């Protein structure tokens, strides 16, 4: 498959192909794809002749630098016009989501955008024999299409959020925040935490606690529990297991043993942690990203078995608290580069079908870094992906949301404008509306209360490093006030 790429109506000469991958049915990324750009042409070589779509970071005037995709396209000798195909995919997605959301009535405040986007796309098709002209018209169509789709998503979210509030579908424990164990002793830090949130998540991770085989250092977690116990807070903890290199004890990675030994060590840690804090914790994030992070190269069966083992250990040690299995990178981009992983919705389905005992799925949404799964997407894409979890037979919780407040290069993408406190706050408002407006999503946990030098996402906190509030904190506070007034 080949794609012509145009910038400002001219063949691209120095286009940076970023975050690109091909995908097949159900948006599942394809493995072992070769992508090469030269003289305005992107050449995509794949292993099969099946239809495929292309996703990549793409600049859109007024909308940002976003990870966008084409529809699935058949192979052919002549190249596709990428600008036209991106516009086509957006208009198709708008049509499908309007049907899904039953939004057929025109809203005069922004309906003209949809008609303009369609008319421009039709003109682009009329000029398809003139690729430069067609690309310029397609760019205008895509710009208006994204603006319309985001307003459509917002309208749907606002309608259903208002309905949910009227029916008291949200409680004071609907909004939470993850905390920093190193800062929890700071009274000012705790003041913000206690004033704003109904529940908090305490990080308890295997790699940070069992630093030597059989030696468990729970001192910092103990101190945190002492400070928060007895408050009007619901406490969540975890993720207990996360099989990324940073989440697994170093001594276990030095000479990786057989699967059985790893499973035994994981079972022992989960049992110890849950037993120790069972009287404090309302919900356990038991295992996180087992489908995406697989540093030991577990087989498909071993991934499911490790998930089962973690949930069994947690259930045996604490029968009262809820147990979460967490999903990361919900589009599954990581699968294009690692066949020992599993696409997220496939893993979700297999965990349920395997009869594993747990209570809910956790879903992580982190954007703004040049890492598979963290490139920025627009609000219609986020809303559409959330909808994919609606049919799941378990409750869904957003267990981690994070976005930067400062530009850290264009590689991770940005939304509307380069990142700033203002854009961060606007993005959080849009995502919280989208999530809380869906009745199958029970809670949202923001990823960090305050900025820190070791954060995965620069400037991702609701407070700055000196614990001064940002605009994003006021945005979250507005949602909490709305819920409390229901």
Hey, which bits of 141-217 come out as E strands?
A: 175-178, 199-202
CATH of 163-484, one of 3.20.20.70, 3.30.230.10, 3.30.110.70, 3.20.20.80: 3.20.20.80
**Closest-CA residue to 65 (of 3, 130, 16, 133):** 16
> What pLDDT was estimated at residue 105?
64
> What pLDDT was estimated at residue 347?
98
Which residues, at least 6 apart from 165, have a Cβ–Cβ distance to it below 8 Å?
482, 483, 486
> What pLDDT was estimated at residue 452?
87
Task: Mark the ranges of the chain whose per-residue pLDDT is less than 70.
Answer: 104-109, 408-410, 486
Task: Give pLDDT tens digits for 280-311.
Answer: 999 999 999 999 999 999 999 999 999 999 99
**Percent of the chain at pLDDT exceeding 90:** 85
Region at 97 (left for phi over 0; alpha for psi -120 to 50; beta for the rest): alpha
**Percent of the chain at pLDDT exceeding 70:** 98
Task: Give pLDDT tens digits for 22-60.
Answer: 999 999 999 989 999 998 999 999 988 899 999 999 999
Q: SS3 helix, strand, coil % of the chain, rounded to 5?
A: 40, 20, 40
Query: Is 324:362 a contact under the CB 8 Å cutoff?
Result: yes
Which pTM does this prediction carry? 0.95
Ranges in the chain annotated CATH 3.20.20.80: 163-484
Block residue for tokens 């037979």 = 393
Q: Which two three-digit tokens encode residue 300?
A: 């498909």
> What pLDDT was estimated at residue 106?
60
Query: Is 75:3 a contact under the CB 8 Å cutoff?
Result: no
> What pLDDT was estimated at residue 104?
67
**Closest-CA residue to 441 (of 399, 480, 409):** 399
> What pLDDT was estimated at residue 108?
59
């Amino acid at each position: 498959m080949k794609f012509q790429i145009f910038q400002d109506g001219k063949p691209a000469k120095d286009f940076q192909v970023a975050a690109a991958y091909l995908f097949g049915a159900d948006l599942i990324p394809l493995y072992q794809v070769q992508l090469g750009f030269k003289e305005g042409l992107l050449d995509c070589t794949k292993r099969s002749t099946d239809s495929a779509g292309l996703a990549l970071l793409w600049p859109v005037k007024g909308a940002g630098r976003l990870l966008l995709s084409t529809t699935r396209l058949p192979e052919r000798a002549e190249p596709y016009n990428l600008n036209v195909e991106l516009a086509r995919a957006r208009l198709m997605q708008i049509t499908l989501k309007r049907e899904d959301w039953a939004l057929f009535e025109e809203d005069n405040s922004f309906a003209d955008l949809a008609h303009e986007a369609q008319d421009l796309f039709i003109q682009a098709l009329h000029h398809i024999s003139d690729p430069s002209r067609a690309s310029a018209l397609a760019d205008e169509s895509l710009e208006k299409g994204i603006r319309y789709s985001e307003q459509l998503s917002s309208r749907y979210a606002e309608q259903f959020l208002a309905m949910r509030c009227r029916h008291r579908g949200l409680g004071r424990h609907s909004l939470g925040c993850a905390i920093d164990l190193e800062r929890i002793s700071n009274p000012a830090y705790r003041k913000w935490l206690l004033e704003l949130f109904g529940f908090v998540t305490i990080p308890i991770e295997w790699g940070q606690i069992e630093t030597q085989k059989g030696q468990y250092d729970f001192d910092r977690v103990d101190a945190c529990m002492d400070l928060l116990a007895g408050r009007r807070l619901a406490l969540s903890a975890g993720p207990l297991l996360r099989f990324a290199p940073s989440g697994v004890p170093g001594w276990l990675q030095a000479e990786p043993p057989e699967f059985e030994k790893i499973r035994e060590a994981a079972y022992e840690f989960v049992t110890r942690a849950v037993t120790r804090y069972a009287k404090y914790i309302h919900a356990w994030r038991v295992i996180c990203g087992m489908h995406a992070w697989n540093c030991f190269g577990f087989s498909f069966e071993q991934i499911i078995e490790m998930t089962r083992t973690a949930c069994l250990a947690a259930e045996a040690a604490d029968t009262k608290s809820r147990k979460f299995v967490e999903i990361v990178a919900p589009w599954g981009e990581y699968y294009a580069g690692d066949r020992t992983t599993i696409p997220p919705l496939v893993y979700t389905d297999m965990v349920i079908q395997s009869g594993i005992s747990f209570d809910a799925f956790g879903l992580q949404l982190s954007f703004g870094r040049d890492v598979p799964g963290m490139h920025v997407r627009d609000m219609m894409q986020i809303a559409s992906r959330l909808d994919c979890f609606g049919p799941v037979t378990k409750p869904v919780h957003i267990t981690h949301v994070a976005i930067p407040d400062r530009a850290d290069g264009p590689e991770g993408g940005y939304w509307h404008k380069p990142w700033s406190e203002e854009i961060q706050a606007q993005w959080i408002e849009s995502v919280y509306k989208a999530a809380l407006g869906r009745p199958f999503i029970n809670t949202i946990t923001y990823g960090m209360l305050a900025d820190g030098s070791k954060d995965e996402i620069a400037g991702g906190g609701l407070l700055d490093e000196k614990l001064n509030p940002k605009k994003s904190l006021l945005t979250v506070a507005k949602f909490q006030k709305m819920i409390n007034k229901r």
